Chain A
Amino acid sequence: MTVTQDHFRKALLDPAAAVPEGLQDAQGAAAGRRYDVYRNNVVVSLSEAMIKAFPHVRSLLGEQNFDSLVPLFVRAHPPRTPLMMHYGAEFPAFLEAFEPLKHLGYLGDVARLDLALRASYHAADASPFDPSVLQQAPEILADAHLHLAPSSHVLRSRWPLFDLWRRAAQQDAPEPRPQGQAVLITRPEFDPVVHLLPAGGATWLGALAEQPIGSAVETATAAAPDFDFAANLTLALRSNAFCTPEKDLL
């Protein structure tokens, strides 16, 4: 009796499936519970990875609710790579499609925030931004390019994502305001930090990927008439959102 890895895998994530024949104890009796050790290891280790990966979703949902939800997720979505640091990319969509959580529509975006925080933590190191770039004459400055550091992430949400994050992270945080919010994640040294972006900030930072400063400001102003360039620039500089790309270091 050959037990292929296909046989072994099929019963692994299905608690109702029969243990494959050909697995046994020292006396040659069917493996039974012995096989369950592997079933348990897989689901528990993946669930523990999810608990570490989505602390803010867990805080908002409640530990007990979260911990009973994750085995459903890990059975449906095992990792696609041995890099567990990126596990859970399907979790935001899973939460949004999960009928019993329909009334907590914001959880998907909070999960995206947790994913972005982890991506930021593991992102490449980059050379700090040189602020002297900004001391040029306005017409030259308008044509200059700014580059987000690999660890910087921008997330827009129709939910009050910054307020929800703060509520999840701090017990005494105020009630989330009824508004959509965009957040900026930066990593000044090793620990990612979450910032609330002022109006138009997400559009401006997004536009900087392709446009020089001047036209990015026009793009942001067109999208958000109350876009405040000075406020957004100050936040981005103070939070170390930008870097000096390697090609500019020569």
Chain B
Amino acid sequence: MYDQSSQPDGLPHGVGVGYKPQHFTDLREAPGPVEWIEVHAENYMGDGGRPHAQLRALSEQFALSVHGVGLSIGGDQPLDTDHLARLRTIMDRFSPASFSEHLAWSTHGAEFLNDLLPLPYTQATLDRVAAHIAQVQDTLGRQMLLENPSSYLAFAESTFTETDFLAALVEKTGCGLLLDVNNVFISATNLKLSPQAYIDAYPLDAVGEIHVGGHDEDHDDHGAPLLIDSHGAAVVDPVWALLDYTLVRSGPKPVLVEWDTDVPDWTTLRDEAARAATALAPALAI
């Protein structure tokens, strides 16, 4: 088992942004409210060059969150131990304050499908994902955070709600959670649930980080709204409101603004970060 006493301090209870290389200079010179950054682990799994040099420089100025997108923790096959070893190398090289991954699968056989694919919430899935989380935490020697997905559909076979499923994983593995409130809003809209009821049922004590981001709007075959996670636009007002709703109940947390496609200039992203800082202020004042 990983030793909880050697756990890194975690991220500051302030605002972070998803780091994009085109913002390197602006972010360093004019960070505004930004206290920490998040990077996708897989982008730093080369052997050297600019990505490593930039991350070393940024680590001196900002707390660092490493967010994996390729571990396929929900896969119905053993975890890729080569990939786990690469994650371990990143932890050793950059000593991030936090490591997180997704409740999803992306590898099938030897194929990597480059998307976060959904899981049925059953006892069999719970046992498998819990075993994988334990393996990750043991290999990395630290707690990991697990992020809730954006759902576009449901599995008829599911026997748990998502919140019960996540709570059971926390209970079984001691992992923490990354609460993506944009994903909550997307899933609740797509599956006709109440996003506030989701937050009410969510194990907020386990939250080590919160995400907000943008999404796209589409429709299903019956004309019902179908929101699609894109990280390609500004955060919409209902998601900001859901963040407020969450922070009132959770108290202050590290809050990240994600913007991964159609990445805007630094000023626009910094304005989003400033809005997140405003949302955090009341929670920090208590």
Q: Are A41 and B157 in contact (CB under 8 A)?
A: no
Question: Which of B90-108 touch A at CB < 8 Å?
Answer: 105-108
Q: How far is the CB of B107 from chain A (nearest CB, A)?
A: 7
Rounded to whole angstroms, the CA-CA distance of A6 and B76 in the bound complex is 9
Q: Are B157 and A1 in contact (CB under 8 A)?
A: yes
Please indicate the chain B residues that have their CB under 8 angstroms from the CB of A175 in the complex: none
Q: Are B46 and A123 in contact (CB under 8 A)?
A: yes
Q: Are B42 and A84 in contact (CB under 8 A)?
A: yes
Please indicate the chain B residues that have their CB under 8 angstroms from the CB of A136 in the complex: none
Q: Are A4 and B76 in contact (CB under 8 A)?
A: yes
Please indicate the chain B residues that have their CB under 8 angstroms from the CB of A85 in the complex: 42-43, 45-46
Please indicate the chain B residues that have their CB under 8 angstroms from the CB of A225 in the complex: none
Please indicate the chain A residues that have their CB under 8 angstroms from the CB of B106 in the complex: 82
* Binding stretch for chain B, among A60-68, A73-81, A96-104, A197-205: A73-81
Question: Which of B42-64 touch A at CB < 8 Å?
Answer: 42-43, 45-53
Q: Are A3 and B155 in contact (CB under 8 A)?
A: yes
Cβ-neighbour of A25 out of B69, B83, B222 (below 8 A):
B222
B29 interface contact, C-beta 8 A: no
Please indicate the chain B residues that have their CB under 8 angstroms from the CB of A79 in the complex: 111-114
Q: Are B156 and A80 in contact (CB under 8 A)?
A: no
Q: How far is the CB of A20 from chain B (nearest CB, A)?
A: 10
Please indicate the chain A residues that have their CB under 8 angstroms from the CB of B107 in the complex: 82
The verdict on A81 contacting B53 (CB below 8 Å), with A2-B157, A26-B192, A122-B48 known, is no
Cβ-neighbour of A26 out of B83, B108, B191 (below 8 A):
B191
Q: How far is the CB of A115 from chain B (nearest CB, A)?
A: 14
A155 interface contact, C-beta 8 A: no
Q: Are B75 and A5 in contact (CB under 8 A)?
A: yes
Q: How far is the CB of A41 from chain B (nearest CB, A)?
A: 4
Q: Are A12 and B113 in contact (CB under 8 A)?
A: yes
Q: Are A25 and B224 in contact (CB under 8 A)?
A: yes
Cβ-neighbour of B112 out of A27, A82, A121, A151 (below 8 A):
A82
> Would you give the 0/1 interface string for A32-45, flagging 1 where the beta carbon is closer than 8 Å to chain B?
11110110011001
The verdict on A41 contacting B112 (CB below 8 Å), with A4-B76, A122-B49 known, is no
Rounded to whole angstroms, the CA-CA distance of A191 and B112 in the bound complex is 28
Please indicate the chain B residues that have their CB under 8 angstroms from the CB of A82 in the complex: 42, 69-72, 80, 83, 106-107, 112
B251 interface contact, C-beta 8 A: no
Please indicate the chain A residues that have their CB under 8 angstroms from the CB of B118 in the complex: 38
Rounded to whole angstroms, the CA-CA distance of A81 and B192 in the bound complex is 36
Q: Are B42 and A31 in contact (CB under 8 A)?
A: no
> Would you give the 0/1 interface string for A117-160, flagging 1 where the beta carbon is closer than 8 Å to chain B?
00001111100000000000000000000000011000000000
> Would you give the 0/1 interface string for B145-160, flagging 1 where the beta carbon is closer than 8 Å to chain A?
0000000111111000
Please indicate the chain B residues that have their CB under 8 angstroms from the CB of A42 in the complex: 113-115
Rounded to whole angstroms, the CA-CA distance of A29 and B107 in the bound complex is 28
Rounded to whole angstroms, the CA-CA distance of A27 and B105 in the bound complex is 25
Please indicate the chain A residues that have their CB under 8 angstroms from the CB of B192 in the complex: 26-27
Q: Are B46 and A122 in contact (CB under 8 A)?
A: yes
Binding site for A on B (CB under 8 A): 42-43, 45-53, 69-72, 75-76, 80, 83, 86, 105-108, 110-115, 117-118, 120, 152-157, 190-193, 218-222, 224, 226, 228
Binding site for B on A (CB under 8 A): 1-6, 8-9, 12, 22-29, 31-35, 37-38, 41-42, 45-46, 49, 78-85, 121-125, 150-151, 187, 190-191
17 example contacts (A-B, Cβ-Cβ < 8 A) are as follows A5-B105, A9-B113, A23-B156, A24-B154, A25-B190, A25-B224, A31-B153, A34-B220, A35-B153, A46-B114, A79-B112, A80-B112, A83-B70, A125-B48, A150-B48, A151-B48, A190-B49
Kindly list the 8 A-B residue pairs having the minimum CB-CB distance in the complex, ordered from nearest.
Answer: A82-B70, A122-B46, A124-B47, A190-B50, A26-B192, A125-B48, A34-B153, A31-B153
